[in-house]
């Protein structure tokens, strides 16, 4: 297959099945010659039951059609180029003649030779590779790989398979946390492993769980790896961070401890390797506190704050080739623009013009441009290029999703509105509507986090256009707690204040919607924190026709102990069940459930350890006990998110049909799945 996916489909209807069928751009890497880039694109496998990933070639210099570089029943992802110019990537493709993906979805690093030919495997980690990095100017490859403690390297795979098949299955823990999102913390520990000069060297042979959530990078000359390593547990029962420099030849470590309750991430070496850029956060009891970029002199360890005057949260960092600036993405005013940060004075310039809001991710830089992935409410994710020199409009490099922005624009209208809430807060809200005057039945969708945002971004799990296709308007507000509107708005959710100003902001948006002539009946829904807010709405008002609450918090007492990160949530609340249970319950929906009247659909994944299934079961029992019309939609094989293609279709159909039933309209007409 050498042509990009077709986006010619008439008439276009974004049904749940059509959304699942779309290809998904996930990552981009510019080649050393800077004339083309490798792009990772997910698609349905031949059974249409799971996603696999291919690599595509897109031109950076002309309009040549995109071409497939890899194709198969395996996952080829995370493209990156090594110093010789070969394209490296993660894949679970077979390393033998069996033609089957490797056992247990075990990924290794592979490469496509510079001058063509079949991919070759570069690593042989018994339990697989989770991430890797190539030195820009040296033949050094470093990977993050799982290692069973106390088991010789050549016995790792056999031992792992034997324990999985025959046991024992016991896990023994001495400290929290013990779970993460959808799995128990495994016995195997992540290690950094270097491949150079044909030899393999474990750089962290004595590490256990210190690298479990580490972020790391390699210096341009390949001589050093830096990793943000979990160190001592602080007074808030959260790990502080130590920056560890590791010599890739000798394996020697040099550590630099940070002040107490300091966390860092997104490490990035400057082109000359002398400076390390990091995103810092200082944990505090009485506020969330900002994130800022700090520059660290690699030789001396001296740190210099760079963006403490910038009222935004920077994301991953990239250096410009001249070392004079950094490029990043940050949530800002309901979008995620690209920013350039001066490495000397910290001044910030937005490179994507305000007229080109939308959202950007996965950035990389060439000599004179930024490349990455761009999407919007009316634009599926696609690779883009943007000049470094001045603000402008990104250029899309290909239409790899199979759906064009023009098709989306013909389906829906999107507007940005602002609503005045109590205390003078100005709440920004995106509204996506079907073509025509209406009135349209309307969904008020509340985002998660609570420190998150509804951005001008394409959303695979909460896609407003699927609802618009069925005749609904969708309102997506950014109330108190949302990022991208300044630190003051974020701090309004900190402490045990979840049901306070944020709730008033959402109700102000509901008032504004109901006053519009193009809005019919209104239902409310949300996931995670948005699910919590939907539950809080349920115990405070019956103004909505229906409620849908996904992966939601119901009983804050129980949640704060059973979530996978109790210490973090207790810090956010400022309370624990053992300190002051009555105060903790101030905004806990379970304490007021006798007030709930609105018909409700409860959705949950049983493998969700961030918001455990007990929250959904408790809510369902409480509503059934109180005679509230309610349904439970359970996914035994899903976690906090619904990710499997066939489950995604069921999720959307259940949500839309429940809303339609209670808003008095029909769904799944012509073109539906």
- List C-alpha distances in Å: 352 to 18, 130, 237, 355, 380: 30, 32, 40, 8, 18
DSSP assignments along 267-286, one per residue = EEE-TTSSEEEEEEEE--SS
Q: Is residue 162 part of a domain?
A: no
Give residue 668's pLDDT.
60
Q: How far is CA 357 from the centre of its chain?
A: 19
* Domain containing residue 465: CATH number: 3.40.50.1820
Q: Is residue 511 part of a domain?
A: yes
Q: Give the domain range for residue 566.
A: 412-663
Give residue 361's pLDDT.
96
Tokens linked to 219: 């210096």
Give residue 100's pLDDT.
58
Q: Is residue 549 part of a domain?
A: yes
Q: Is residue 358 part of a domain?
A: no
For 496, which DSSP code? T
Spatial strand order of the sheet with 318-319 comes to 318-319, 325-329, 338-342, 348-350
* 101: enclosing H helix or E strand: none
**398 — alpha (psi -120 to 50), left (phi > 0) or beta?**
beta
For 154, which DSSP code? G
| pTM for the predicted model, two decimal places | 0.94
Residue (of 542, 554, 525) closest to 598 by Cα position: 542
Tokens linked to 37: 């880039």
Contacts of 252 (CB under 8 A, 6+ apart): 246
* Cα(92)–Cα(74) distance, integer angstroms: 6
Tokens linked to 611: 């918001």
Residue (of 363, 492, 361, 381) closest to 427 by Cα position: 492
* Cα(419)–Cα(417) distance, integer angstroms: 7
Tokens linked to 373: 């992935």
In degrees, rounded to 5, the angle at the alpha carbon of residue 594 between the alpha carbons of residues 593 and 597 is 85
Please, are residues 34 and 663 in contact by the beta-carbon 8 Å criterion? no
* Cα(157)–Cα(147) distance, integer angstroms: 9
Please, are residues 289 and 262 in contact by the beta-carbon 8 Å criterion? no
Tokens linked to 595: 């007030």
* 337: enclosing H helix or E strand: none
Sign of the CA dihedral running 209, 210, 211, 212:
positive
* Cα(561)–Cα(569) distance, integer angstroms: 9
- List C-alpha distances in Å: 570 to 538, 575, 588: 24, 6, 14
SS (H, E, C) 11-56: CCCCCHHHHHHCCEEEEEEECCCCCEEEEEEEEECCCCCCEEEEEE
**Rounded mean pLDDT for each run of 10 residues along the chain, 673 residues in total:** 43 92 97 97 95 97 95 95 97 73 77 90 96 97 96 95 94 91 94 94 93 95 95 86 95 91 94 97 91 96 94 97 97 96 96 84 96 96 93 94 95 96 93 93 96 95 96 97 96 93 97 96 97 98 98 95 93 86 90 97 98 98 98 98 97 96 76 37
Q: Is residue 596 part of a domain?
A: yes
Residue (of 463, 465, 474) closest to 438 by Cα position: 474
Dmax over Cα atoms in the chain, in whole Å?
71
* 236: enclosing H helix or E strand: none
* Cα(281)–Cα(304) distance, integer angstroms: 14
SS (H, E, C) 346-383: CCEEECECHHHCCEEEEEEECCCEEEEEEEECCEEEEE
Question: How many alpha carbons lie under 13 Å from residue 176 in its C-beta half-sphere?
Answer: 14
- List C-alpha distances in Å: 281 to 215, 238, 305, 485, 658: 14, 13, 11, 18, 42
Q: Is residue 658 part of a domain?
A: yes
* Cα(396)–Cα(205) distance, integer angstroms: 44
Q: Is residue 31 part of a domain?
A: no
Total domains present in the chain: 1
Rounded to 5 degrees, φ, ψ at 162 are: -65, -45
Give residue 5's pLDDT.
45
Q: Is residue 351 part of a domain?
A: no
Helix runs in 80-131, H state only = none
Give residue 672's pLDDT.
37
* Cα(347)–Cα(310) distance, integer angstroms: 8
For the chain, the first-to-last Cα distance in angstroms comes to 27
């Amino acid at each position: 297959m050498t042509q990009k996916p077709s986006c010619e489909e008439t008439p276009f209807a974004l049904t749940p099945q059509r959304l699942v069928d779309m290809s998904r751009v996930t990552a981009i890497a510019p080649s050393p010659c800077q004339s083309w880039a490798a792009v990772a694109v997910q698609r349905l496998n031949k059974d249409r039951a799971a996603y696999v990933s291919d690599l595509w070639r897109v031109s950076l210099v002309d309009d040549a059609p995109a071409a497939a570089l890899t194709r198969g029943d395996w996952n080829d992802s995370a493209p990156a180029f090594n110093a010789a110019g070969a394209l490296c990537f993660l894949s679970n493709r077979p390393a033998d003649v069996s033609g089957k993906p490797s056992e247990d979805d075990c990924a290794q690093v592979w490469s496509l030779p510079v001058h063509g030919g079949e991919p070759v495997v570069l690593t042989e980690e018994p339990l697989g590779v989770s991430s890797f990095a190539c030195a820009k100017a040296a033949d050094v490859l470093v990977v993050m790989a799982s290692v069973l403690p106390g088991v010789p390297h050549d016995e790792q795979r056999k031992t792992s398979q034997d324990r999985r098949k025959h046991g024992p299955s016991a896990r023994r823990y001495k400290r929290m946390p013990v779970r993460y999102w959808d799995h128990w913390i495994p016995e195997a520990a992540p290690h950094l492993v270097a491949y150079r000069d044909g030899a393999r060297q474990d750089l962290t042979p004595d590490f256990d769980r210190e690298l479990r959530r580490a972020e790391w990078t390699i210096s341009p000359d390949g001589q050093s790896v830096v990793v943000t390593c979990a160190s001592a547990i602080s007074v808030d029962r959260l790990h502080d961070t130590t920056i560890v420099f590791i010599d890739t030849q000798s394996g020697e470590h040099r550590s630099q401890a940070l002040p107490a309750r300091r966390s860092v991430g997104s490490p990035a070496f400057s082109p000359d390797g002398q400076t390390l850029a990091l995103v810092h956060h200082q944990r505090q009891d009485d506020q969330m506190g900002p994130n800022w970029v700090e520059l660290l002199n690699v030789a001396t360890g001296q740190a210099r704050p760079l963006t403490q005057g910038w009222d935004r949260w920077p994301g991953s960092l990239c250096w410009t080739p001249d070392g004079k600036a950094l490029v990043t993405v940050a949530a800002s005013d309901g979008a995620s623009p690209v920013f350039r940060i001066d490495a000397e004075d910290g001044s910030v310039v937005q490179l994507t013009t305000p007229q080109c809001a939308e959202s950007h991710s996965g950035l990389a830089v060439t000599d004179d441009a930024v490349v990455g992935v761009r999407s919007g409410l009316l634009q599926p994710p696609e690779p883009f290029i943007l000049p470094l020199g001045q603000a402008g409009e990104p250029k899309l490099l290909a239409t790899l999703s199979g759906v064009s922005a023009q098709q989306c624009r013909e389906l829906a209208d999107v507007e940005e509105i602002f609503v005045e809430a109590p205390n003078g807060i100005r709440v920004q809200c995106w509204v996506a509507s079907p073509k025509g005057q209406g009135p349209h039945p309307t969904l008020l969708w509340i985002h998660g986090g609570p420190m998150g945002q509804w951005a001008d971004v394409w959303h695979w799990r909460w896609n407003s256009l699927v609802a618009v296709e069925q005749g609904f308007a969708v309102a997506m507000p950014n109330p108190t707690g949302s990022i991208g509107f300044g630190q003051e708005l974020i701090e309004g959710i900190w402490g045990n204040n979840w049901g306070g100003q944020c709730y008033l902001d959402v109700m102000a948006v509901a008032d504004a919607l109901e006053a519009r002539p193009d809005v019919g009946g209104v239902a409310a829904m949300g996931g995670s924190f948005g699910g919590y807010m939907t539950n809080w709405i349920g115990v405070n008002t019956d103004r909505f026709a229906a409620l849908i609450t996904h992966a939601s918090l119901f009983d804050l007492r129980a949640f704060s102990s059973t979530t996978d990160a109790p210490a973090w949530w207790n810090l956010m609340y400022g309370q624990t069940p053992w300190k002051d249970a009555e105060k903790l319950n101030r905004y806990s929906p379970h304490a007021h459930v006798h007030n709930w009247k609105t018909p409700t659909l409860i959705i949950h994944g049983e493998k969700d350890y961030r918001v455990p299934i007990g929250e959904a079961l408790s809510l369902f029992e409480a509503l059934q006990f109180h005679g509230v019309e309610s349904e439970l939609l359970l996914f035994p094989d899903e976690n906090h998110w619904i990710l499997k293609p066939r489950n995604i279709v069921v999720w959307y159909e259940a949500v839309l049909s429940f809303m339609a039933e209670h808003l008095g309209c029909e769904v799944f007409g012509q073109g539906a799945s």
